[in-house]
Amino acid sequence: MANVLPPDTIRCDACPVLCYIKRGHAGACERYANIDNQLVRVDPHVLLDRAKFQGAPLVPFLEREHEWDGQLLKGRETFVTAIGAGTTYPDYKPAPFIVSSEVAGVDMVTVVTEGIFSYCGVKLKIDTDRHLGPERNLVRAQGEPVGHVTTAEYGSQMLSIGGVHHLTGGTKSEGRVTCETLLDLCNGKEVALTIDEGASITVAANQPPIVNGQREERMRVGCGSAAIGMFAKQWFGKVDEVVVVDDHITGVLSEHQAGKMLGVRETGIAIQGRRSTPGRYFQVAQPGTGWGGTNINDPLSILKPFKEKFAWPHLRLLMVSTTGDHYAYYELDESLRPIEEDLPPALRESVARIRENCEPALTTVLFMAGAGGSLRAGVTENPVKLTNSVKNSLTRVTCGGAPAYIWPGGGITFMVDVARMPENAFGYVPTPALVAPIEFTLKKSDYATLGGHMDYIRSLEEVMREKDRQRQLTSLPDNPWPLPSPNERRTK
Amino acid sequence: MREPAQICMLPNGRLHLHDGPIDLIIHADGTPTAVEQAYRAAATRFVTVLDELCAELPLLRAQALPNSPRPRGPIAQRMFDAVLRSAGFQQASPGRALEPCLSPPLFITPMAAVAGAVAEAILTEMTNAAKFDRAYVNNGGDIALHLTPGHSYSIGMVERPETPALFGSAEISAESNIRGIATSGWRGRSFSLGIADAVTVLASTAPAADAAATIIANAVNLPNHPAMTRVPANQIAPDSDLREIPITRNVAPLSIREIHQALNNGVRAAKTLQSQELIHSAALCLQGQVRVTCRDALPRPSADATQPRLVPRRSLQHA
């Protein structure tokens, strides 16, 4: 087929049928449609079922535990999510679903729409000490720049992916790949990324990151100095000196406050790098993917010769990384040179304890977007009132039923953990932009006050009758129920 | 961006498989172990079906003629064979080439049997994997059945998917040879050349039922009647297998005479298919009027309980 499409026709690439879809029509699946020459997912519409009884079992099937057979529970509450609700872009019309329901005698309204966000991106928090790449360097997918390294925060490397400059500010291919990367990340799929002058990583929401082909198991227990503080007591008496190797702050037991408190004797150890405060050293090596996020594989390389004045033969030295993944045990010989020995059983326990105290390393994907623009017109005739209502906590914002954090300041800029949203909650349009569900829940009376589309309110029962377009899911147990609880109402 | 196939459970122990335009609702009755084995087999087979079909899509969207290249995929072959037979290409004697009974031959593409063939393929996978009492694979109204002795299914027929009121029902037992049910009409998802609201066909296999329902629904028609809005298929869906053939988009109210005139045309097609033993029976519905053709023309449903009978729910009193 020719690449030239007839006017008002788009080609859907959601499945291998590759339908040509005319404006105003749906493809063969009736799930993707051409709305104003945008490919929009229109089906199915996801409803969340609330298990009223705490701890109600989910029945896993085919390893997909979000799905549930619906049979075990009675007396459920239902929340209509925006997933599959469609959109009224460019938003001069009321949102596709404005649903009323009653919560503890109060009429509530949930305005449900799928927003098209070209001002959007994800923040990746990758739990690893390994150096992924220099700050500000480009992160690439399929060779295209899709984001950059921002910083590191307490045992995690932070990347920014997407954003309007990659989605629409670069080449067509950059925009397309960025959109695809964001969509995959948001829908929980695995994505391969490379960082200029840095590592190759494979990440997926709520999964351990894979750095240069190696799966990260644990997040550091703390920085090297923190580790000394946490475990000093357990080492005391079993070893004369401990060095916790860390690219950020390497800790040294005998010099550290915690060691001093216990009366650990001075050992004459001398460490490379820059001393910050006693027992805390910066820049003992270069960043890398070796011990504790440094580039070293031989821990002795960060040591200078022991000071003869303080050190003694048979001095016992433990060197360990911040995750306990790397460790080595030495004793000084007669000329005060460290000789590697087997780790004594008494210390084995403390190394295991470090590992035990490390939380599992994960990648978290936070979707971030601004709903401050025209999307609000689908909710109310007076858009700024919606913004104010959200700021005043009268209107609750959820994404596919998951709680959203609203940034202070102007607009409705929100962040949501995609792992708390139902599977495949995101879609895209070839603009390129992401389609994300967003729901605004507020009191019906408040909705009238802010100029809501009152004529378009439909009852929950009415919406639920359209069963063939719906998918019912159980809400995730960790999420607060999107509608306010009766107790919460009384306090307002 | 290719979306992966969706596999999930629905209420009442039904399995839902979805991939692109394919949407299957599956239910099996049997021991929990057998059902799980069957569902796993269904899901495992399912994930490759769409890619398999799309690999030969141009061929499957082309008119099926005896000298057409034969598709390679097993499902595609079932589609091809079913539409050729239903379109009236028959072997005069074994070993002879297929010859058309109609001149010119009916325009039909293998896509007319895709839903039934996919349903049948998944069901076969399930019955090969486990032993259970009965099962159905419902592919958007085109249904493949599995029945073991002593078991049966009740089916209800609807004319309009959006207002599910039954216009008829049938009881299908293991003793009948019916294992395929299909419904076609202009209100459904696929395009129809005819004006039937719904034509439901019972046949021995799902692909045969699917192809026959398409042909009968196309035949329920009043050529050149002004009450019909018809549009070339490719104006709606640029890549439709029906190309520029006008398909029905709307039907204005018809007189009762016109309704039965149109239904007669459909009944004629149904009887032709019945006489060739390609279908068991058909129920045709147009603007509230229902006609049923039964191969055995049973006078009483109780005369032979093993033979299913399509029972129209609405009377024909206006006829």
- Reported as a single tens digit per residue, the pLDDT across B99-124 is 544 555 688 999 999 999 999 999 99
Q: Cα angle at A392 between A387 and A398, to 5 degrees?
A: 65
Nearest CB to B2 within list A15, A27, A428: A15
> Within chain A, which residues score under 50 in pLDDT?
1-2, 51-76, 89-92, 486-492
Spell out the domain ranges in chain B: 6-312
The residue in chain B having the minimum alpha-carbon distance to the alpha carbon of residue A423 is: B6
Nearest of B89, B309, B305, B316 to residue B211 by alpha carbon? B89
Q: Quick check: A330 contacting B, CB < 8 Å?
A: no
Yes or no, beta carbons of B9 and A28 under 8 Å apart: no
- CATH 3.10.520.10 is right for the domain spanning B6-312: yes
The residue in chain A having the minimum alpha-carbon distance to the alpha carbon of residue B44 is: A62
Which chain A residues are within 8 Å of B40, Cβ to Cβ?
62
Which chain B residues are within 8 Å of A64, Cβ to Cβ?
7-8
- What's the rounded Cα separation, in Å, for the pair A290 and A129? 9
**Chain B interface with A: residues with Cβ < 8 Å:** 1-3, 6-13, 19-21, 23, 39-40, 43, 50-51, 54, 57, 161, 189, 235-239
Q: Quick check: A138 contacting B, CB < 8 Å?
A: no
Chain B interface, best mutation among A20, A29, A40, A434, by max B CB count within 10 A: A29
Token readout for A202 is 């494979």
What is the distance between the terminal CA atoms of chain B, rounded to a whole angstrom?
A: 53
Q: Are A447 and A67 in contact (CB under 8 A)?
A: no
Yes or no, beta carbons of A27 and B21 under 8 Å apart: yes
In this model, does residue B312 exceed pLDDT 70?
Answer: no
Yes or no, beta carbons of B8 and A70 under 8 Å apart: no
Q: Quick check: A61 contacting B, CB < 8 Å?
A: yes
pTM of the model: 0.50
Which chain A residues are within 8 Å of B3, Cβ to Cβ?
14-15, 424
- pLDDT recorded at residue A49: 54
Token readout for B37 is 């084995």
Yes or no, beta carbons of B10 and A183 under 8 Å apart: no
* Antiparallel, parallel or unpaired: β B281-286 and B289-294: antiparallel
Between the CA of residue A421 and those of A47, A157, A158, A425, A454, what are the distances in Å?
A: 12, 23, 21, 7, 28
How close is the nearest chain A Cα to the Cα of B101, in Å?
32
User: Exposed, middle or buried, B281 (CB in 10 Å: 0-12/13-18/19+)?
Assistant: buried
In this model, does residue B88 exceed pLDDT 90?
Answer: no
Total Cβ atoms within 10 A of residue A191: 22
Identify the band that residue B301 occupies on the pLDDT scale cut at 50, 70 and 90: very low
Q: Are A402 and A479 in contact (CB under 8 A)?
A: yes
- Reported as a single tens digit per residue, the pLDDT across B167-206 is 677 889 999 999 999 999 887 778 888 999 889 999 999 9
Yes or no, beta carbons of B50 and A17 under 8 Å apart: yes
Q: Are A262 and A236 in contact (CB under 8 A)?
A: yes
The residue in chain A having the minimum alpha-carbon distance to the alpha carbon of residue B236 is: A22
Interface of A with B in 3-42 (CB under 8 A): 6, 9, 13-22, 25, 27-30
Identify the band that residue B140 occupies on the pLDDT scale cut at 50, 70 and 90: confident
The mean of the pLDDT values for chain B is 84
Residues 6+ apart with CB under 8 A from A367: A120, A121, A122, A186, A399, A415, A416, A418, A426, A434, A436
Identify the band that residue B72 occupies on the pLDDT scale cut at 50, 70 and 90: very high
Nearest CB to A69 within list B11, B235, B237: B11
Please tell me whether residue A459 adopts helix, strand or coil conformation: strand
- Reported as a single tens digit per residue, the pLDDT across B256-271 is 899 999 999 999 999 9
Place of tokens 């406050």: A257
Yes or no, beta carbons of B20 and A13 under 8 Å apart: no
How close is the nearest chain B Cα to the Cα of A437, in Å?
18
Nearest CB to A15 within list B3, B11, B12: B3
Q: Quick check: A79 contacting B, CB < 8 Å?
A: no
Helices (runs of H) and strands (runs of E) counted in chain A: 9, 34
In this model, does residue B316 exceed pLDDT 50?
Answer: no
Yes or no, beta carbons of B23 and A22 under 8 Å apart: no
Place of tokens 């894979």: A210
Please tell me whether residue B317 adopts helix, strand or coil conformation: coil
Q: Quick check: A76 contacting B, CB < 8 Å?
A: no
Which chain A residues are within 8 Å of B239, Cβ to Cβ?
19-20
Between the CA of residue A446 and those of A103, A394, A399, A472, A485, what are the distances in Å?
A: 15, 8, 21, 28, 17
Size of interface A-B (CB pairs under 8 A): 83
User: Exposed, middle or buried, B262 (CB in 10 Å: 0-12/13-18/19+)?
Assistant: buried
Q: Cα angle at A365 between A363 and A367, to 5 degrees?
A: 175
Q: Write the Ramachandran bin of A148: left for phi over 0, alpha for psi from -120 to 50, otherwise beta.
A: beta
Q: Exposure string (b/e) for B51-62, b if CB count within 10 Å is 16 or more? A: ebbbebbebbee
Yes or no, beta carbons of A62 and B39 under 8 Å apart: yes
Yes or no, beta carbons of B238 and A6 under 8 Å apart: yes
Chain B interface, best mutation among A4, A5, A10, A15, by max B CB count within 10 A: A15
The residue in chain B having the minimum alpha-carbon distance to the alpha carbon of residue A467 is: B162
Place of tokens 């293998």: B110
- Reported as a single tens digit per residue, the pLDDT across B40-66 is 999 999 999 999 999 999 999 999 988
The residue in chain B having the minimum alpha-carbon distance to the alpha carbon of residue A14 is: B2
Strand partners of residue A80: A47
Which chain B residues are within 8 Å of A70, Cβ to Cβ?
9-12
How close is the nearest chain A Cα to the Cα of B12, in Å?
7
Nearest of A338, A337, A336, A318 to residue A328 by alpha carbon? A318
- pLDDT recorded at residue A1: 43
Please tell me whether residue B315 adopts helix, strand or coil conformation: coil
Nearest of A202, A210, A201, A204 to residue A188 by alpha carbon? A204
Residues B79-98 have a mean pLDDT of 71
Q: At B137, which amino acid appears? A: V
Residue B307 sits at φ, ψ, to 5 deg, of: -95, 125
Interface of A with B in 170-189 (CB under 8 A): 180, 183-184
- What's the rounded Cα separation, in Å, for the pair B281 and B103? 25
Dmax over CA atoms of chain A, in Å, equals 90
